[in-house]
A and B are shown apart, each in its own frame.
Chain A
């Protein structure tokens, strides 16, 4: 009984962890290139909306996934335009983009489905495996094409960042843009690619959110982008470290839900604040010892 229970719990943790992990991978690429990405939250929301819109308009779940990824890339492109081209402060620009996406999706929701809260139901990519009970749930997750894709992306991100020429260049742009420039690395373009990767990964995180619910609902990212940002820091700007941090946050959230279900008498609202409190503690406890990319938040020529 308890083994089954813990299996169910494990599946829950992995399900919750997945969007965090994808967004945190995205944040890692952006920040390793030297651009702080507060817009993760907005990118995720845009990805979720674009997925539902795409799947609804074409009737093809996989075209919806593509649309979701492109939606994320689109917002990342805007961030790149404002920060890399116009030299605006990336943190402020990220906050503004989050406001834009929050308002924009509400506007489009009203325009497309005439609702203030949620879209109509859409088909999501189906899992390749299915079954009964706890084992079935595990099979359904492990055999889900999006889950497998996410696992591949986790491993791939590590290789891309630490084993390829692009990864080395990207890290150079985050550590010392002037030196990178002198060595012939096109700083602006490299950072742009880092941001676009960030947008694609985080957009996919949004796709997962909306695919699980089979619909878009207003503000459905619910602060996950910010938690992912905390995971980037807690994971010390390493893809695998970030994923590990996301597993911890996912476990906290699953535990919170299990405690709520078990009726411990603890107030629901305070349990819901648990992941955020954990992220706070992680940030304040770890950030002093973790070293961020040296040129994080600096412009191409090293100016603020």
Chain B
């Protein structure tokens, strides 16, 4: 372990970064003390349904804004230019669809049944352990896969922040880059520590801090980035940036954006055929509008928070706050990375295609290092993507451990477990899950963005329609809900699986009859887009159709129907 010397800049960066970490840990400890007596499980996993407007808003926003937003999204803007405004546009309606659509009624249903987790709601509404277990397993699979990708992003940011000279170390027979390993362990220890110790309150309170750090970071970086764009033809700022993009490649300022062959990531494309369309053909533009606004409805992290707010004025105020938050974050990120492309016309492009660790997503830390007037500010700005990843990871860790402790252990194995047993089980499971994911991320998967989109789509297609229909349509039956859940998630799995088979160049003959089979793609990991639409559109359609269709063919449980759907005339 030689060559551990840090540059003076890096010392400053790490100092600012450490201040942030200390703040997060302190909040975790304080919230542990805040935990009240009474039902441990409800307090640890749901904060006893006491979220007010500010905490609700920031915890929802900070959970939704993840490693993908701060690492994958910037590299896509840098590569594809202004068309990314259309890619992300549906965040304009996300506060309404993900909070106002289900929020009030879901909270009421959860109170009627005493539900603590998302599977609880399904299980109690239909009195069906099988349905609860199906939901639990879907959550466990999708979130664990997603967590590995988020951990990788966390380790990468830390590695860039420290800028250690690259040295490989051997660990359990694996070759791991030293900076990445240190970053990963610091990241994991912090987030596992505060999540396990403080539970839901720690996760939501740190979300408030992390949410503020992200917001201030993005706004500050946007202002700095605009000032750094070199003048052209008397134009300055964003004007100059757009003019430079137009000269680099006119496709960067029009839709559907650059085609695979016109940027260097074409290496990842499967054939040398000219591409038929740009980055975001019309079908994809529609798919991504549905992605953020409707897939977002079915995310367990968001739904659990909707089960936890205190009263309806809190919900209404937090919708306003979240709307403002998303405007600043997403418009800010767009501006920053349009400017980044103007400042670095192609320096970071060549690395985009090969998807090796840290490189495709390095533009965010690079811009921070370039724009920050002082290393202390760079350290603070680097804490922003780190905070984004941390808040998402903490929420997912807690969801996974609630699935194991609450949905499986307490509800299926030992219903009479004491509060003390549950407390140790919860803390222990949270730590163990964290360590398992940490080991998975030591030898990290590539294709960060695809893994995140894949698991998010799976969850959204499994839960958005079955949940909406379960709480609003009294005719929904348990068979309908199971069919809708499985139909949605399996459609997504199947279309991604087909995409990987196609990406590997296999079965060209036997599946050649499928429309679009064997066409050039942006990555070998991209899914198979049936009729030009993303798997999530098919998953949602099938999930909705199956929930309604199977429900109509089966008989509803009258007792449960009366319990959850009181007569309106009474």
Chain A complexes with chain B? no
